Every structure is written in structure tokens, then in C-alpha cells.
Amino acid sequence: MPSLKHFPADAPADDLIAAIRQDGALIIDRLIDKAQVASVMGELSPYMDATPVGRDAFTGFQTTRTGALVARSPLTRELVMHPAILAACDLFLLPTCDRYQLHLTQIIRIGPGQPRQVLHRDKLAWGGFLEGIEPQLNTIWAMTDFTFENGATQVVPGSAAWPKDRRAEPHEIAYAEMEAGSVLVYSGSVIHAGGENTTTADRVGLNLTYCLGWLRQEENQYLSCPPAIARTLDPALQALLGYSMGSYALGYFSPPTPPGEGPEAVPPQYVLGSHSDAAWGADLYKAVSERVRGDPTPAVGS
């Protein structure tokens, strides 16, 4: 049986990404301590306990999946913005986008008696249209210990490079066994799935994922964390949610005001009270203009 590489909490991002590119997944041990785990669980447990189980075999008839975690849990926001994870996202995602974004927030509770989930690739959320592109980098934070017996995530090391029709054999599957407070980090292309829980206790993981800024998010962050809540957050988290331009001309809107009573073509953060539209694309303008054949004027909308 293969195994996943384990790294300490202070491992350099370059080392993490090298392992991701080779195996498709890794584990960072004890990135947060048990007290932090307990505090996060304290915020999320009321929502998790009120969530019904899945409606089909894929989502799990003995599994609950609870979202909108940025709006609901201030401590989850800290995990979303964890420097070690964002440093890995910088290296893994920024080569193919101007800005990445938060893709999904979900606390997953695999209950006793839940069978194994079918093996899959998360990038299939976009169908089969992203061959040759790594669209996302994902995390599962262990809120309980993950063991083979209680449903530790199944991962097939090296499968990110497999042909899409190749199926994994049992001897090719590793299990993300880790202590609470540790994090499984994995790509959108690696084959993986929830494990079988043969114990009498829940296995709980916090699934926080990131994707390229020019793709649609799996969890609609504008609805899960609407402007009334988003405007209270740190600007960096606002931008990660998607209240920012994905590229020079990607994501603007026109407020539907009466004639002459409002601006045209403002960035998403305008709805949060940021009214400085004069320089709204300055950082991305520079990045894009440097790419377009050295032309200082981006080839957008021509």
C-alpha cells in the first residue's frame, strides 16, 4: 500500500509543491493545535448538527456537508487565510491566473456506517473541459484524528498524471491518516475519495479549496457570503471570496441606477463600499499589459 508524504508545519512552500507535483497530495502535520481545533469545532458544530445527511451515494447517506463557513465562522476565516496554505496556492495556481479565489468551504462529517465514496477527481466539477490544466488546490483540515478505520480520505498518489480512463486498483490507494490539526493538501487532478467509517464515532474534516480566478466557483461565495457580511471582512479575504477583479476585464459590473446617477463598469468591491474606481484595475492592468506582446494597452474588449 502506498503512503503520502508528511511535512512539518514550517516546511517551505517549494517542498510542498514539489510533492504535490509528484504525488498529487501530501499531509502537513499539526498545522494548528488541538485547542484551535476545539475552538473551530465549537463555532461549526451547531451548524453541522443541524445539517441533514446526503441525498445520494456520492454525497453519502451517513455523511453531512455544511457550507457558508466564511460567513458563519470567524475562526474558519483564519484557516482560509493561513499563510502556509496561501504560499502553496501562490506557487501552484498563479502561473495560470492573475488571481486565485476561494472555491469551496465545507465541513464534512462522515458518520459510522458510511461506505467508501466513489473515487473521483475534483476538477470534474467543470466537466471534462480542463485537460492539461491544474485548476485548483484543495485542503482537508482534520478536525478529528483521521484513521483507516474511521474514513481517512483515500488518495491515489501519482494519479494526477494518469489518463482519464485509468481506474485505481486497491493496492494503489493510500489513506490520509493524520492527527487532528493536520491538513491534507491535494490537487484537483488527483484521484481521491472519502473513506469507509467502520467505527462508532464521526470523522470530521474541514474542506477549504482554492481555484483559478477565471473559473466559476463550486460554492457561490457571493450568495454564501453576501455583501452585508463580506463588507465586514478583511480586504484580503474579500478579494479571495471573489469581491475583486479576476483579470483586467473579468468580473466588473454596472450598478443599475437611473440615468446619470451612478458609475459604469465598477469592480466587485464597489458593492462593499470601496468607491475608488479610478485605480480599480491598476495591479492587474500592469500584469496583463506586460503579457500582451509588450503592448501597454491590454487587448481586452477590442
Distance in angstroms (rounded) separating the CA atoms of residues 101 and 93? 10
* Separation of alpha carbons 48 and 27, rounded Å: 25
Decide the pairing of beta strands 203-212 and 136-142.
Answer: antiparallel
CA 61 to chain centre: 24
Quick one: which of 142, 144, 154, 148 has its CA closest to 199?
Answer: 148
Share of the chain above pLDDT 70, in %: 90
Residue 69 and residue 209 in contact, taking contact as beta carbons nearer than 8 Å: no
Inter-residue contact 280 to 245 (CB < 8 Å): yes
Q: Quickly state the pLDDT bin for 275 (edges 50, 70, 90).
A: low
DSSP conformational letter for 244: S
How far apart CA 7 and CA 183 sit, in angstroms, is 10
CA separation for the pair 119, 278 (Å, rounded): 48
pLDDT in tens, 200-239: 999 999 999 999 999 999 999 999 999 999 999 999 999 9
Question: What domains appear along the chain, each with residue ranges and CATH number?
Answer: 6-220 (2.60.120.620), 222-291 (no CATH)
Residue 264: pLDDT band by 50, 70, 90 thresholds? confident
Measured CA distances, 77 to 108, 159, 233, 258, 285 (Å):
17, 31, 9, 37, 28
**What are 161-166's contacts with CB under 8 Å, separation 24+?**
161/189, 162/191, 164/128, 164/131
pLDDT digits (tens, 9 = 90+) for 16-67: 999 999 999 999 999 999 999 999 999 999 999 999 999 999 999 999 999 9
**Residue 296 clears pLDDT 70, i.e. is over it:** no
CA-nearest of 159, 118, 140 to 27 is 140
User: What's the pLDDT score for residue 278?
Assistant: 44
User: Residue 174 pLDDT > 60, yes or no?
Assistant: yes
- The mean pLDDT of the chain is 91
Instruction: Kindly report the number of other CB atoms within 10 A of residue 127's CB atom.
Output: 7
d(CA 138, CA 85): 9
Q: Which three cell numbers stand for residue 291?
A: 503579457
Query: Predicted confidence band at 128 (pLDDT cuts at 50, 70, 90)?
Result: confident
d(Cα 143, Cα 179) in Å, to the nearest integer? Answer: 8
Residues 6+ apart with CB under 8 A from 267: 244, 245, 251, 252, 274, 277, 280, 281
Cell numbers representing residue 253 in the block: 459590473
Helix H, strand E, coil C: the string for 76-95 is HHHHHCCHHHHHHHHHHHHH
For 138-172, write each residue's pLDDT tens digit: 999 999 999 999 999 999 999 999 998 999 999 99
Residue 299 pLDDT > 70: no
**Whole-angstrom Cα distance, residue 206 to residue 192?**
16
Q: What is the pLDDT of residue 290?
A: 52
Contacts of 21 (CB under 8 A, 6+ apart): none
| Predicted local confidence at residue 12, as pLDDT | 98
